[in-house]
């Protein structure tokens, strides 16, 4: 059963999380819930990216203990997606902070977090 290995399960979980997040963004009315949905999508993409870099029966890309210097290329998983995800997590923090602060400003101005109350960008 090829679908019951680690990389398939984690990619599948990532896709499910992505769909949940997208559903939340489209269907929810509360701005805070929309922001939470954005965070879920963020996490799902991290999960998918990391599992794309996974290689079966290999270990983390750190040269220590059983992983020897000479044949590191045969023993470690792909370090590039992991570095990308490290970058993406930090940027995700920044984006979440900005979204939350905009929500706070909107609430200060109109005393409402319902997205239906904001008509100024609708056409």
Answer yes or no whether residue 69 interacts with another protein by CB under 8 A.
yes
Among 29, 32, 55, 112, binds another protein (CB under 8 A): 55
Q: Which two tokens stand for residue 85?
A: 């995800």
Among 29, 30, 105, 117, binds another protein (CB under 8 A): 105
Q: Give the count of beta carbons closer than 10 Å to the beta carbon of residue 117.
A: 12
Least Cβ distance, residue 93 to another protein (angstroms): 7
Distance from C-alpha of 107 to C-alpha of 72, rounded to nearest angstrom: 53
Q: Which residues contact 8 (CB under 8 A, 6 or more apart)?
A: 2
Instruction: Give residues 2-41 in contact with another protein (rule: CB under 8 A).
Output: 2, 5, 7-8, 11-12, 15, 18-19, 22-23, 26-27
């Amino acid at each position: 059963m090829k679908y019951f290995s680690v990389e398939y399960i984690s990619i599948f979980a990532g896709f499910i999380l992505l769909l949940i997040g997208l559903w939340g963004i489209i269907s929810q009315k509360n701005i805070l819930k929309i922001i939470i949905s954005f965070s879920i999508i963020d996490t799902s993409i991290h999960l998918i990216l990391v599992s794309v870099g996974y290689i079966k029966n290999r270990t983390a890309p750190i040269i220590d203990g059983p992983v020897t210097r000479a044949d590191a290329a045969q023993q470690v998983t792909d370090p590039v997606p992991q570095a990308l995800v490290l970058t993406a997590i930090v940027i995700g923090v920044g984006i979440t902070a900005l979204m939350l602060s905009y929500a706070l400003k909107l609430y200060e101005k109109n005393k409402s977090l319902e997205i239906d109350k904001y008509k100024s960008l609708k056409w």
